[in-house]
Chain A
Amino acid sequence: MTDPTDLTIAEARDRLRARDISAPELTEACLSAAQEAGALNAFVHSTPDTALDQARAADERLAKGDAPAMCGIPLGIKDLFCTRGAPSQAASGILKGFRPEYESTVTQKLFDAGAVMLGKLNMDEFAMGSSNETSVYGNAVNPWRRKGDDTPLTPGGSSGGSAAAVAAGLCLGATGTDTGGSIRQPAAFTGITGLKPTYGRCSRWGIIAFASSLDQAGPMTRTVRDAAIMATAMCGHDPKDSTSADLAVPDFEAMLTGDIRGKVIGIPREYRMDGMPDEIETLWTRGREMLADAGAEIHDISLPHTKYALPTYYVIAPAEASSNLARYDGVRYGHRAKLDAGDGITEMYEKTRAEGFGAEVKRRVMVGTYVLSAGFYDAYYNRARKVRTLIKRDFEQVFADGVDAILTPATPSAAFGLGEMAQADPVEMYLNDVFTVTVNLAGLPGISVPAGLNDQGLPLGLQLIGRPWEEGDLLNTAYALEQAAGFVAKPAKWW
């Protein structure tokens, strides 16, 4: 019998329904895999009692033969999601000790579908980072290593713990969130699949806010089919999030036919960056050939405002963050600084926030404060919002011209070493999101699919971008790409 932690969600569902394996058995296998994997620092709060209670309840539903697809499936939950009674601190010192009295809509939907929560996963503080190095819990570590080299590598970020846990077989799937690439970049760095749905598909309620006009939750899984199954359970309208779309959620898995004949795939010329490594260029060309061989029509397209996406993002995201993070003031939850005699409320705010936030979060909150401040609001914030309109218009134009999906690399490189970027200025780290950030600015669905290994034996991903609300079609194209790429490599266990 194969190790249960190697099962995909689809396989586990079938085995659970066939009563071939019980939900508690599967959960226990994952809990012990997670316990042995301390070196990856992926799980930062373990919730074994909850997990086993949920698994036993799932087993009862399975016994009655009335079990949704996610019933009994062990998941890891990114620390950004509020989970009732369990630590939920966005990997920040300022939320140390915070245990929400409520459940995020996405986790509630997963639990209603019978899913099991193993624990909370590491991430960059408040989802601000591309390497999981800004976490108060310390770095998460990529289960992949370069050939013949044991340098610890980043799993990417911000959903680095989610990516590491899924790739290492500690859980069958994980929730992630994506504000500028935080699902797709770590998925690419760890050889797994990561879907960012259309803005408004998943409720943001109960997910600790970073940049509300960009944030979107999504599944991180080992296969496209698993992403389809998990997304079906996560998506849907929620009256508690005013930007949540009141649209029916199709059964995404049922849309996976693998038939993409006649589909039009756009290749945007602006994504061919100066200094792009050969291995990325080669992968992209192979992706193009694979989709053409599957019967798609390949068109070269132009998205002229692409180069302005990152600077636009680095105005809008910090601006929204500075406003969202104003709530961490030491009054209602989390950390409060020790005060000196005579300190008043302003000192309490300033000391609490100086102690509670890490360097990157402080930097972004202050940049956001600056671009929103009197005299600069028009020059920075309003201008960025106008450029954002143009970026979205670029996509609308190519979709109107008949393009069904857009193929790009997911990241400008394979996973880099932890600490390698320590001396770099913040902008160099921001360049990691160069291919993914446009998708958030335009509110579109995007998916990263593992497509090959580089010379050093590290996974590389390709990104597909779809039309708004057409995740089903996007997943189907990703499914065809996955089948053609035939990526089956797994990291050799060293942890």
Chain B
Amino acid sequence: MSIDTETAARVAKLARIRVDDADLPALAQEFNTILGFIEQLGEVDVDGVEPMVSVTPMRLKRREDVVTDGNMADKILSNAPDAREGFFAVPKVVE
């Protein structure tokens, strides 16, 4: 299977990364190289094999469903490119 520039553009859109039209053919070519390398997984007999969920079989720990942290809005906003009145600010989302 081979990736064309249209597919490359769709993937870039899904990944929310702007790619100039002029760069799409080179990107598609790189995808094809990488996917060509990955294709060899098709040779492996995986009938009846479970996909790995966790590399170490372990039961995830549970904890009490209680608040353990909080009241630090200032710290959370301290790295924001644009924070106003205790909120993250973004361009207009709804009309």
Q: Could you say which residues of chain B place their CB within 8 Å of the CB of A442?
A: 55
> B84 to chain A: which residues have CB within 8 Å?
none
In the complex, residue of chain B having the shortest beta-carbon distance to the beta carbon of A312: B41
For window 4-40 of B, CB contacts with A under 8 Å fall at: 8, 11-12, 14-19, 27, 30-31, 33-35, 37-40
Which B residue's beta carbon lies closest to that of A348? Answer: B91
Contact, CB under 8 Å: A351 / B58: no
Which one of A4-12, A224-232, A329-337 contacts B?
Answer: A329-337
Q: How far is A383 from B72 in the complex, measured between Cα atoms in Å? A: 43
Residue contact B37 to A427, C-beta cutoff 8 Å? yes
Residues of B close to A370: CB separation below 8 A: 3, 11, 31, 35
Q: Which residues of B contact A98 (CB under 8 A)?
A: 79
User: Is A369's beta carbon under 8 Å from chain B?
Assistant: yes
Q: Say yes or no: A239 contacts B61, CB within 8 Å.
A: yes
Q: Roughly how many angstroms separate A117 CA and B66 CA in the complex, as a whole number?
A: 34
Q: How many residues of B contact A (CB 8 A)?
A: 50
For A348-376 the 0/1 string (1 means CB < 8 A from B) is: 11110110010000110111011101000
Do most interface residues of chain A lie in helix, strand or loop, or is the interface mixed? helix
**8 Å CB contact of A390 from B38, B46, B54, B63:** B46
Contact of A311 among B19, B40, B91 (CB under 8 A): B40
Q: Are B61 and A308 in contact (CB under 8 A)?
A: no
Judge whether A200 and B33 touch: CB under 8 Å.
no
Stretch at the interface among A67-75, A339-347, A404-412, A413-421: A339-347
Partner of A336 from B16, B33, B81 at Cβ < 8 Å: B81
- Give the residues in chain A near B12, CB-CB below 8 Å: 366
- Cα distance A213–B58 in the bound complex, in angstroms: 13
Determine the residue in chain B with the shortest Cβ distance to A339: B91
The reply to whether B75 and A101 form a contact with Cβ atoms under 8 Å apart is yes
B81 and A334 within 8 A (CB) = yes
Contact A369 B44 (CB under 8 A): no
A425 at the interface (CB under 8 A from B): yes
Check if B2 is an interface residue, CB within 8 A of chain A. no
Q: How far is the CB of A447 from chain B (nearest CB, A)?
A: 18
Which of A242-250, A263-271, A274-282, A458-466 lies at the binding interface?
A: A242-250
Inter-chain contact A315/B79, CB cutoff 8 Å: no
What residues of chain B lie closer than 8 Å to A427, measured between beta carbons?
Answer: 33-34, 37
Tell me which of B17, B60, B78 has the highest count of chain A C-beta atoms within 10 A of its own C-beta. B17
Residue on A nearest B19 in the bound complex, by CB:
A354
* In the complex, per-residue mask of B32-70: 1 if CB is within 8 Å of any chain A CB, else 0: 011101111111101001111111101011010000000
Known: A243-B60, A311-B40, A390-B49. 9 other contacts (CB 8 A): A200-B58, A245-B58, A311-B39, A322-B15, A333-B79, A333-B81, A370-B11, A387-B44, A430-B37
Residue pairs across A and B with Cβ atoms less than 8 A apart, 21 shown, are A101-B75, A243-B54, A246-B61, A308-B43, A314-B34, A331-B88, A345-B91, A348-B91, A351-B18, A354-B17, A354-B18, A366-B27, A366-B31, A371-B38, A383-B44, A383-B46, A386-B49, A387-B44, A389-B50, A426-B33, A468-B56
